[in-house]
Structure 1
C-alpha cells in the first residue's frame, strides 16, 4: 500500500535564497519537507547564449492537493525570471505519505 505525493524540484542561486524559500514554504504549510540537495553546476541556453551557473537544488515534498499552490509560491518568490520548476507524482510509504498529507492540510476555519 502506498500514498500519492508530489515532488517539486527547483534550483536557486545561493544558500540564502534556498533557506528563505524553504522556510517560508514550510511555514505556509505548502510542503512537509524540503531537502537541499546541495550545490550543482547548471549549463543551459539562455537568450541565445550558453550559460553556466553554480546553483543550489531544492526538492520539496508535498501533497497533490497543495502542489499547484506550491508551484505558484515558488514562481512568485523565486529570483529568476524563468525559474526551473519540475513536478512529478510519486508514491510514498503509507506512514510517510500520511505525514506529508497531514502536514500540508489547510487549517480548518471555525
Structure 2
C-alpha cells in the first residue's frame, strides 16, 4: 500500500469515564462501520483543567481505527453518544503501516472502497 493510501487511515483518540461506557461507544462505532477496530486501554489517570479547576479522574482510553472519509460522521456520532459535555476526540494521520492491515481498515469502514 502506498503512502497515499496510508494517509487515508486515521487513528482517533478518545476517553470514556468507565469500562462500560468505553465498550458501548466502541461497539457502536464498529457496528455503524465508522471504525474498523477500537482498542480499549483501561484505567488511565487524567489530570486536566475544567471550568477553572484542576481535576483528576480515572478514564478508559479508546484507540479508534478509522478513515479520513468516515471522520466527520464519527465525530458527529461520538459527540452525540458520549456522556461528557466536551469529549476528547483527536485524529492522528497514519504516515505508514503494514499494508494488509491498512487495507483491512479501509475495507471495514463505511464509505471505503470495498
TM (norm. structure 1) is 0.90
Partners of 2:89 and 2:14 in 1: CA distance: 5
Instruction: Show the counterpart of 1:93.
Output: 98
Alignment gaps of 5+ in structure 2: none
* SS across alignment from 2:104: helix
Equivalent residue number for residue 107 of structure 2: 102
Q: Which has the higher strand share?
A: 1
Moved more, 56-65 or 87-96: 87-96
In the alignment, the residues of structure 2 paired with residue 84 and residue 105 of structure 1 have an alpha-carbon distance, to the nearest angstrom, of: 22
Say if 2:57 is the partner of 1:53.
Answer: yes
Runs of 4+ in 1 over 4 A off after TM superposition: none
**Matching residue of 1:78:** 82
Superposed CA RMSD in Å reads 1.7
Q: Gapped runs of 5+ residues in structure 1?
A: none
How many residues are treated as equivalent by the alignment?
108
Q: Following TM superposition, by how much is the alpha carbon of 1:26 offset from its aligned partner in structure 2, in angstroms?
A: 0.4
Q: What does residue 6 of structure 1 align with?
A: 10
Q: Does 1:36 align with 2:44?
A: no
**CA positional deviation for 1:106:** 3.7
